[in-house]
Amino acid sequence: MSKQSDVQGVIDGKLAPCPKTANCVSTEHTNPNRYMLPIEYKDISLSKAKEILVDVLKTIPKLEVKKIDGPYIYAEAKTMIFEFFHDVEFYFDDVEKLIHFRSASRMGFADLGTNKRRMQSIVARFYRQADQVE
């Protein structure tokens, strides 16, 4: 059983910082081992970028989009075997044409790279679909 998510969305144009534990990755993290580049969507509109991202998220096993609120998307993911919960968030910065994200385990200390692999897969799938738009 996993405690309820305490995700707070976007505050002052940023997602919540990662916890001190090593089970989170973010485009806004200062630790290079837990930092990932944001997704760029320079050649497509905000609405198209959101549509592509939501379509991509639907292809990720054991991930469910729970909330879409303007430039913010929240999804809940479960690990394959033990079904530990992870919170996955996205924030669209339409000025910079970037999608910031954060993926964090709700419990434990380490995630054996689960969050990073999930986000790498989402990023790769997003770019593949965005490339087909033109």
Alpha carbons 115 and 89: distance in angstroms, whole number: 12
Alpha carbons 40 and 43: distance in angstroms, whole number: 9
**Residue 77 in 3-state DSSP?**
strand
User: What is the average pLDDT across 100-106?
Assistant: 94
Q: Is the pLDDT of residue 116 over 80?
A: yes
Beta bridge partners of 69: 72
Taking the CB of residue 108, how many other CB atoms lie within 10 A of it? Answer: 12
User: What is the average pLDDT across 28-50?
Assistant: 94
Average confidence score pLDDT of the chain? 90
User: What was the pLDDT predicted at 2?
Assistant: 46
User: Does pTM top 0.85 for this prediction?
Assistant: yes
Tokens of 114: 């689960």
Residue 105: its H or E element: strand 98-105
Q: Is the pLDDT of residue 34 over 80?
A: yes
Q: Considering the chain, what percentage of its residues have pLDDT values greater than 70? A: 93
Please tell me the total number of residues recorded for the chain in this structure.
134
pLDDT digits (tens, 9 = 90+) for 2-14: 455 566 789 888 9
- Higher-pLDDT residue of 39, 20: 39
Enumerate the domain spans of the chain: 25-131
Phi, psi at residue 33, to the nearest 5°?
Answer: -75, -20
Could you confirm whether domain 25-131 is CATH 3.30.310.80? yes
Identity of the amino acid at 99: I
Q: Considering the chain, what percentage of its residues have pLDDT values greater than 90? A: 66
- Higher-pLDDT residue of 133, 10: 10
